[in-house]
Chain A
Amino acid sequence: MEKKHFLSGDEAVAFAVKLCRPHVIAAYPITPQTVIVEKISEFVASGEMDCQYLHVESEHSAMAACMGASLMGSRTFTATSSQGLLYMCEMLHYVSGSRYPIVMVNANRTIAAPWNIFGDHRDSLSQRDSGWIQFYVENAQEALDVTIQAYKIAEDPKVSLPVMINLDGYVLTHTYELVDVPPQELVDQFLPAFQTTNKLDFEKPKSLSFSAPPEWQTEFRFQQFEAMEIAKEVINQVDKEFGRVFGRTYGGLIHEYCCRDADYVLVAMGSVAGTARIVVDQLRAKGKKVGLVKLRSYRPFPKEYFQDLGQRVQAVGVIDRDISFGYEGAVYSDVKAALYRPGAQVKTVNFIAGLSGRDITKENLAQMYEPLEALALGEKVSEIQFTGLRWT
């Protein structure tokens, strides 16, 4: 029987990690992630969790410790945020390049300067090319469920890539909701013990994370590229299997809402998707054919889905809680590149919104659908729009 708990997003992650029985946790605190490793330390102290809990001296060391543990065949976990994620950047590449299926939660928080501890996606999106699978979740329940899914995806021998689960700072990390916590037996059944051959073994000594000369780098990079392509399929399968065991599914790489007959849709990642669905309902009630695409997996990116969407709808708006200075929102660039296939008539607009914790309100979202409607009617609108900007 599932038990309902009143949990914050951070606590929901800690419960999920406990259920996944990792061998090693590397902990270094940073707001707004700290509650995760704090809660886990309570589980360890009370004996509810049996694992090595390492107090490391930095995020760089946290990831290095996870890598060391993973190369001994251990299931590992760490959590970070913002500046901490940037500090472990070097190790992110080491881990993905060496193919260790580490699972990490990143509590999305903006990057200084200006200093601010509130949420946006500039931290994780800056690590786009680190070779990690990146999920964005909408609520505490999804955070818990995706953490369990993440181990299964990461540890699939065909994938063997690290996974970063992104949780909007404060809006998710510190907000309480009722969360179903599945029983241990079901999680054990869904997630078997971690098995790998990519580890140190006294019987079969290996040299790991070796250097590869120019003649061989490309082949190793191709392996990573292929693993990400395979991960697309595995992510969808694992979500379905999760649904069979636990009764909840999320749609895999993306989740569509009212898109089937939509004329224009918004694309969003993370917690804002929940608010956006309410706005879709309101606009639908007024007869507007609007939809919402929740992008759940940013890497691997569901290119094929957007290629198809570009043939079905007239206008697409992308909400970016980030900006790539000198160009546009990072998510927008990717979505646009996939949408615009030869002959595609779709029009696009980018909303830079919710930077460093500024609320994206229902009114903001309703207003985002206006330029989309205008585009669908053949009018011109400016392509990059800063939501709620006081002046230009």
Chain B
Amino acid sequence: MKPQVVKNYQFPQSKEQMPFGPGSEAGVLIEINSGWRNLRPVINQEKCTRCLICWLLCPDGVISKDTPQLEIDYDFCKGCGLCAYECPRKTIVMEKEG
């Protein structure tokens, strides 16, 4: 499931609003985070067998299996290439970012 970016996230405005130590509610994303990617994984949907190895191994959990075809969330994919490396059918190609 594609995570929702919280628009207009309110940073703490006072001491009382500060989280206690470096810990806070999980899963709160306040901006898209993919600016450092220079290679983009692209799935060749025709060759994909849906074995889900990439889905399982993606360190950022950005590959979704909720859709008929696997989808990569490019807002949060960091371009590490692990999925392409591990795909048994070499179905994922790392393409140069524009």
Return the CB mask of A89-108 against B: 1 if under 8 Å, else 0: 00000000111000000000
Task: Describe B's contact surface by its main secondary structure.
Answer: loop
Bound-complex Cα distance A211 to B18 (A): 14
User: Is B18 touching A160 in the complex (CB atoms < 8 A)?
Assistant: no
User: Is B18 touching A206 in the complex (CB atoms < 8 A)?
Assistant: no
* List of A residues within 8 angstroms of B23 by Cβ: 98, 198, 206-210
* List of B residues within 8 angstroms of A204 by Cβ: 25
User: Is B24 touching A206 in the complex (CB atoms < 8 A)?
Assistant: yes
Return the CB mask of B7-40 against A: 1 if under 8 Å, else 0: 0000010000010111111110000000000000
Bound-complex Cα distance A210 to B22 (A): 5
With CB as the reference atom, state the residue of chain B lying closest to A96: B21
Bound-complex Cα distance A254 to B9 (A): 46
Return the CB mask of A270-306 against B: 1 if under 8 Å, else 0: 0000000000000000000000000000000000000
Bound-complex Cα distance A197 to B23 (A): 10
Task: Assess whether A50 is interfacial by the CB under 8 Å rule.
Answer: no
User: Is A212 touching B22 in the complex (CB atoms < 8 A)?
Assistant: yes
Task: Assess whether A220 is interfacial by the CB under 8 Å rule.
Answer: yes
User: Is B20 touching A197 in the complex (CB atoms < 8 A)?
Assistant: yes
User: Is B20 touching A207 in the complex (CB atoms < 8 A)?
Assistant: no
* List of A residues within 8 angstroms of B26 by Cβ: 205-207
Bound-complex Cα distance A219 to B11 (A): 12
Task: Assess whether A361 is interfacial by the CB under 8 Å rule.
Answer: no
* List of B residues within 8 angstroms of A98 by Cβ: 21-23
* List of B residues within 8 angstroms of A210 by Cβ: 22-24
Interface residue total, chain A, C-beta cutoff 8 A: 18
Task: Assess whether A195 is interfacial by the CB under 8 Å rule.
Answer: no
User: Is A99 touching B20 in the complex (CB atoms < 8 A)?
Assistant: yes
**A57 CB to nearest B CB, Å:** 25
Interface residue total, chain B, C-beta cutoff 8 A: 10
Task: Assess whether A223 is interfacial by the CB under 8 Å rule.
Answer: yes
User: Is A198 touching B21 in the complex (CB atoms < 8 A)?
Assistant: yes
Bound-complex Cα distance A209 to B18 (A): 14
User: Is A97 touching B27 in the complex (CB atoms < 8 A)?
Assistant: no
**B87 CB to nearest A CB, Å:** 29
User: Is B24 touching A207 in the complex (CB atoms < 8 A)?
Assistant: yes
**A111 CB to nearest B CB, Å:** 30
Bound-complex Cα distance A209 to B23 (A): 6
With CB as the reference atom, state the residue of chain A lying closest to B25: A206
Bound-complex Cα distance A56 to B96 (A): 44
**A133 CB to nearest B CB, Å:** 15
Which of B12, B18, B21, B25 interacts with A97 by CB under 8 Å? B21
| Interface set, chain B 58-89, CB cutoff 8 A to A | none
Bound-complex Cα distance A22 to B87 (A): 45
**A241 CB to nearest B CB, Å:** 24
**A93 CB to nearest B CB, Å:** 12
With CB as the reference atom, state the residue of chain A lying closest to B27: A205
* List of A residues within 8 angstroms of B12 by Cβ: 219
Which of A205, A211, A223 interacts with B21 by CB under 8 Å? A223
User: Is A97 touching B22 in the complex (CB atoms < 8 A)?
Assistant: yes
With CB as the reference atom, state the residue of chain B lying closest to A209: B22
**B36 CB to nearest A CB, Å:** 15
* List of A residues within 8 angstroms of B25 by Cβ: 204-207
Top 4 A-B pairs, shortest CB-CB distance: A99-B21, A205-B26, A208-B23, A207-B26
Could you list some 21 contacts between A and B, CB below 8 A? Answer: A97-B22, A98-B22, A99-B20, A160-B20, A160-B21, A198-B20, A205-B25, A205-B26, A206-B23, A207-B24, A207-B26, A207-B27, A210-B22, A210-B23, A210-B24, A211-B22, A212-B22, A219-B18, A220-B21, A223-B20, A223-B21
Sample of 20 more A-B contacts, CB < 8 Å, known A207-B26, A223-B21: A97-B22, A98-B23, A160-B20, A198-B20, A198-B23, A206-B24, A206-B25, A207-B23, A207-B25, A209-B23, A210-B22, A210-B23, A210-B24, A211-B22, A212-B22, A219-B12, A219-B18, A220-B22, A223-B18, A223-B20
**Interface set of A (CB-CB < 8 Å, partner B):** 97-99, 160, 197-198, 204-212, 219-220, 223
